[in-house]
Amino acid sequence: MVSLIDASLNPAGDTALFTDRQWLEALLRFEAGLADAQAGAGLIPPTAAAAISGACAAVEMDRAEFIECSRRTGALGIGLVDPLKAYLALHAPEALPYLHWGATTQDAVDTAHALLTKAALSALLEELEAMERALCTLARDHAATPMLARSLMQPAQLTSFGLKCAQSAAAFRRSINQFAVLAPRALCVQLGGAVGNRAALGKQAADVERRLAGALGLWVCGYSWHTQRDAWIRLGMEAAVCAGSMAKLARDWSLMSQFEVGELAEATRGRTSSAMPHKRNPVYCMQAIAQTQAVPGLAAALLGAMAQAHERALGEWQSELTMWAPLWRHVHGAAAALRRAAEGLRINTVRMQAHVDALHEVVFSEACAKAITPVAGQGPAQQAVEGLAAQALAQGVPLSGLLLNWVEAHYGALQAESVAPALARATDQQRAVDGSAACCALLLETLEAPSHTRLEPEMTP
């Protein structure tokens, strides 16, 4: 059960991911699907498979009993199989020898986990694709909206708000595309048997795996991944990387939402402070940052759990199970928060322009130095710009005017007249922001192609 605090920090709290009920249902789907697949491959009688499927549909799994049995035995599969055995003993004892036949606990749990992760990935992709669309709309609308770029938290040069949005959209598209590559390799049936060699299934192992994957809507990998977790963990690591991209976006937007900056604001939602009625906190950014905080630690712990001894892990795999669901819940929660922020974001272009104007052209210092270098030389030009930039800020006058006066004083009126056009180009805001607008357009062009991560494998007959 999700805690009170966890639910309060997750705007998508109504999205059920990896719940106890979903776990039990997925485990039962594995047992029913395995029996049907084995019957289809001619390994067990069809009547036994029908009885096992019926038992899986009829048995009410008791959560407390499942936990107690699994806690006592250390094997999650026993808590699953024992109630099914009891049901079959009463209703179809002839099917008992074929229940869970050729499989082991980890086969059931890993396959169930793949089913639950497929649902979690689908929910995450829905949020990511909606957020990408919202960011692309912002990018198109503000491709040429000038704003300060910040480097080391200080004013650097001009960029455009649209380019910042397009850059984030492109990062999320890269994650979407990477999920498309990783999902078929990770969301696979696990069917290795006791030690991963499928000995009990014999030559029919591949056929059973293919049939089971088809019934469950998972992929076929053709091997056991009991202790070779590389493909599975790579999928989790991409979720963590995606969370990093979201944390960066939430951090930027929260900084731009500060009153002293005032370039962005989340959509109005009423009171957001218990003590200060005037406050309008960036709640969605706060939620996204809170959700992503735990992800790096979870990702590191999952990597640490890969050192699984021999053919079955003693503790590492079990610890992986405890960390996997929180990772996906956190990433999905962050995506839901940022999607809501993006769809209602308020952009204060006047404030963005005011911050540019308040710097009196010093953001063009690099271009200004190049403009006067043909007359003054590189070293003196850079020294002049550095000194006069401070003067421009202190006196509230344009840097270009001070530089023209400096050139005239040191090199004469004719030289000042010769560099005037270059200084005008160097401090032309529109010219400066055109570069960002062009970069934004290129990114948007790459993002216009439809993206879709197919989570339904193509099944061969």
d(CA 139, CA 446) in angstroms, rounded, equals 13
Q: Which residues are designated catalytic?
A: 273, 312
pLDDT of 130-141, one tens digit each?
Answer: 999 999 999 999
pTM of the model: 0.93
Q: What is the mean pLDDT of the chain?
A: 94
More confident residue, 55 or 6: 55
> How many distinct helices (H) and strands (E) make up the chain?
18, 4
pLDDT band at 276 (very low <50, low <70, confident <90, very high): low
> Cβ-count burial of 168 within 10 angstroms (0-12 exposed, 13-18 middle, 19+ buried)?
buried
The Cα 228–Cα 207 span in angstroms is 22
Look-up: residue for tokens 């970069």?
439
Higher pLDDT, 269 or 152: 152
C-alpha angle 81-85-90 in degrees, rounded to nearest 5 = 155
Q: Is the pLDDT of residue 272 over 80?
A: no
CB atoms within 10 A of CB 274: 7
What's the burial of 52, exposed, middle or buried (CB within 10 Å: 0-12/13-18/19+)? Answer: buried
φ/ψ (deg, to 5) at 307:
-80, 70
Q: Which amino acid is at 299?
A: A
pLDDT band at 460 (very low <50, low <70, confident <90, very high): very low
Phi, psi of 151, deg, nearest 5: -125, 125
Which pLDDT band holds residue 277 (cuts at 50, 70, 90)? low
Rounded to whole angstroms, the Cα distance separating 347 from 141 reads 11
Which residue from 169, 174, 213 is spatially nearest to 190, judged by alpha carbons?
213
Identity of the amino acid at 399: L
